[in-house]
Every structure is written in C-alpha cells, then in structure tokens.
Amino acid sequence: MDKSQARWIWISVAFSTVVLLIVLATTFDKNTLLTILKLNLWFLLLATLLRVASLIFWAFRIRTMAGSLGYTVKFSHCFNLVVANLLAGAITPGQAGGEPVRIHELYRADVKIGDATAVVLMERVLDGIVLVIMGVLAMILLESVWRGLNIALIIGMFLGLILMISLILLLFYSARRPDRAKVLLSRLIRWAGNRWKGKTMQKVTRYADAEMDNFFVSLHRFTTSGRKGLIYGTIFTTLFWASEFFVASLLLLSLGQPPFVAESYLFQLIIAIVMMVPLTPGSSGIAELSATSLYALIVPASVLGLFVLLWRVLLFYFNIVVGLVASLNIFRRELRITDAKNQTSELEIIKQPDE
C-alpha cells in the first residue's frame, strides 16, 4: 500500500470516527449501559455471517456474469476480488474505487479488459435496477414513513436515483447504438489524452482504443446471447442487497429491539442510494448521519448510538480490515508475477551470447 492509499484510509476512518463519537456522546445514558450488558451475541454473530453471505452472493454474481461471456473464473478468485474491492470503495467518494480493482482482478483471471469493464459496469446497472425497483415498492408500501423524512435525505436519495438511472440509460444506449457510443467515447479519450499529456496517459489511450471494441461487443452480448448472465446476475444482485439490508434488523434484535424489517429496508435503501453520491471518502460521516437521522424515528435514543456503531462496524470498518487482507494477497501475487518476469528476462539475456 502506498502513502496516498494509507492517507485516504486514515481520512475516511477519521470522518467516520468523529461522527460516531458525536452520536454516541449525545445518545449515551444509563439505559445504554443496560443495553450493552444485555447484548445478544447470537444475533450479532448472525448479522456478521449474513454480511459474509452477501459478499458470497456478490462473488457468484461476478462469476456467472463473466461465465456468460465465455470465461471461467474461480469462485475463490471472485471472492478475493470482491473483498479487496471493499477497501478501495471505503476510501473513495461514492465508493467508486472498487470498480478499477474488480476490472484489474478479472483481467488477472484472463478476462479481456473490455469484457471485464462490461461485466463491472453491468453490475452497476443491475444494482441500479434492483435498488430503483426496491425504492418504488418501499415508497408505495411505506408512504407514511418516507413522507416524514428529512428533506436533505430525500434530496440525496433522488440525486442518487438520478445518477443510477442515467448510468442505466447510458449503458443501454451503448448496447443498442454501439457505433454512436464508440464515437463519443473515442472523443472523450482523445480529449483526456490531450488534456493530460504524458507517457502513461498515451499508453492508456492506446490501450483504451484497442479494448473499446471488446467492451461494446460484450455489452451487446449481455443483451443477446449473454442474457443468462443478466438473469443470474439479477438474482444474485437481489440476494446481495436483501442480505445487506437485513443485517440492520439483526443488529436491532441483538440490542433487544424489534427488527422493524419493512422500515429498516426503506432506511437502508435510502442510505445505500445516498452513499452513491460522491461526497466523502467511503461516504464516511454521511452514512453515520443518515443512519442516525432515519433510525431516530423508530429506535430509542439510548440505543441509537450503539446501533449506528455496530452497523458501521459491520458495513465499513469490517470492509477495511478484510479488504486489507485480500489486498495483501493480491500484492503478494503481483510480487510473484514480477519476480517471474524478471527471472525470465534474466534467462533471455544469459542465452543471447550463445545464440
């Protein structure tokens, strides 16, 4: 890990920690101590296992979607790339840093860059579709709840929905009109190459031109012969978000509270959409404030701080810890690949005089 990544981890953790301390300080009383003493560890364990299960669903989504394009990627590799992507997402605004990690790791599994990019972008599309459907259903079924929400949260949710819907429409346009989309993307790449000149940027530009056709072909295949990947991808996407959202209900049960399943799903949906708006690294601070504002409607003040702390531990600090472990595995593998290349180069140099 370089200094820049370490700095962003500290910044992200600092944002989150400060807000959590404020929330705990303003909600802590004698009932909070009683809640801690009565904490149900079994429900806490179930919440942790469910969080791991959600990552397994994500790994299966990537595996099946890559498989629909003709690639066989080991589940262990998919799971490690999903976990490693959590770290990048935790330190970048809108959790956007995870996409490059997933693309790189699919490439390491012999998936072409264009195909890997199509898989990862289509993941975002499926996330958007599932979350939009969930959002519409939640608004219909829980109209009385969401009408009483903070206006800032509602605005944030609609901004996130606009971003997701825009991405969905853009990618479907690209799949149906690849020639026009390719022209627009080529212009963007050329503009970036002229704007940020340098050997690295020139290399990226050439590579992007070479892989662009693969990317658009892959997008088109997802809507034709690769529809099986979209079907299974949608199933695993639904399972992923359903399990992620139910973690909060299990945490409420561990604190001796009712699960508030329907309300919690609505709140988790709003938070997930708001967190997609690129405001702070890993949406730290934003997530804590959003959860506090929403769950204050249904959870006693004395329990609220503890709930937000446990929820953020499982969905943020957990990501950083396991993400570091997975990233270390990738770092070791990259070292082995580099060493192997260096040894091959040395052997070629040694053999040259004999030739």
Q: What is the pLDDT of residue 99?
A: 83
The dihedral of CA 237, 239, 243, 245: what is its sign? positive
Whether 101 contacts 88, CB under 8 Å:
yes
Per-residue pLDDT at 82: 93
Q: What is the pLDDT of residue 214?
A: 62
Q: How many helices and strands in the chain, by DSSP H and E? A: 15, 0
Q: Is 110 helix (H, G, I), strand (E, B) or coil?
A: coil
The list of the chain residues with pLDDT below 70 reads 1-5, 8, 93-97, 143-150, 152-154, 156-157, 160-161, 164, 167, 171-220, 223-226, 277-283, 342-355
Residue 337 included in any domain: no
Domain contains 77: yes
In whole angstroms, give the CA distance from residue 191 to residue 205. 10
Instruction: Report whether 132 contacts 99 (CB < 8 A).
Output: no
Which has the closest alpha carbon to 139: 260, 239, 249, 270? Answer: 270
> Does residue 253 fall inside a structural domain?
yes
Domain extent for 159: 3-330
Residue 269 is assigned to a structural domain of this protein: yes
| Any domain includes 350 | no
Residue 133 placed within a domain: yes
Closest CA to 296 of 153, 177, 182, 170: 153
Residue type, 305: G
Q: What spatial distance separates the first Cα and last Cα of the chain, rounded to whole Å? A: 42
Q: Is residue 342 part of a domain?
A: no
Lookup: tokens for 236: 């695993």
**343 is a domain residue:** no
Q: Furthest-apart CA pair in the chain: how many Å?
A: 83
Q: What rounded mean pLDDT belongs to the chain?
A: 79
pLDDT at res. 201: 47
pLDDT reported for residue 45: 96
How many separate domains does the chain show?
A: 1
